[in-house]
Structure 1
Amino acid sequence: MEPQVGNILEGKVTTITKFGAFVALEGGRSGLVHISEIANTYVNDVRDYLQEGQSVRVLVLPAENGKLNLSMKRVQPAPRPAAEARPAAKPAVRAGGPQQPLPPSGDKAFEDKLKHFLSTSEGKMADLHRSMDGKRGGRRRK
C-alpha cells in the first residue's frame, strides 16, 4: 500500500545522516525526514533529536522523483510566539521609598555580561594596537 500525502504514520528511524533521517514505514516503504522537517527549532545535529531504532510519528509529504518525503515537525503542535509564551509581569516596586519600578532580574545579568564583554574587548583592542604599532612605518633607520 502506497502512503497517501497528508497521512500521519508511525515509523522507525533506520539511518541517521547529516542532512536528515531515514524512517521505515509499514509496507516496506521508507522515506527521508529532512533536517529542516525534524523540529520547530533550528536543528544543528540530527542526533540531538533522533536515535536509530526510535519510533516516530511522521506526516507524508509530496514525493519528489519517486522518493518519499516525511515531516516530524508538522505533526507537532506549532510553537507559541514569545510574546504569548510569557505572561505579562507587573513591575516590582521598592518598599518604603519613592515608587519606582525595579529593573527585571534579567537586566542585571545582561549588564554584567555587557561590562565583561566591553572590558575584554578593550583589552584585546589594546593588544592589537600594540602589536600593529611595531609593524607600521617600515624599518627604523640606524
Structure 2
Amino acid sequence: SDNPFEEMKDLQQTGTVDEYITTSEYVSSQVGRLPEEQYLGYFMGGLKTDIRLRVRTMNPRSRVQAMKIARDIETEMRGSLLPRVSAGGPRNWKGSGSGGYGLSWKTGSGSQHNPGSTRVGNGYTNYSAG
C-alpha cells in the first residue's frame, strides 16, 4: 500500500525474527518520527504469537530491546527444536586433565592414624577447595 502507517500496522512476521526486523526497520524509516511506544507496539503486534508472548513477559521498554529479546527467544526456541550439535563440550576445556586445581589435597595431619587418638569431625577437615 502507499500508506506506510497501514503497512507498518499490518506487518507480520512470516520468516525469521531477523527478516521481520529488517522489514520493520525499512517500513518504519518510511513512516518518519513516531513515539517509541508506538514503534514498540507495531513491532510487538507483528511478531509470531509464541515469540510475542515470551517477549512481552520480559517487558521491553524500547523497540531495540524488544528486537534483541525476540532474537534471543528465537535462538533458544530453535535450539530446543533442533538436535544439538555439540562442539565437543567440556572435553575441550584446557586444563581439565592437567592436574592443577586442588588435586594435591592433604588427607589430614597424620595424627588420626595413630591408634587411640580421637578423630576430630569426619576426618576430612583438611579437604578445603580454596
TM-score by length of 1: 0.25
Q: Which protein is richer in helix relative to its size?
A: 2
Question: TM-score normalised to the size of structure 2?
Answer: 0.26
Larger strand percent = 1
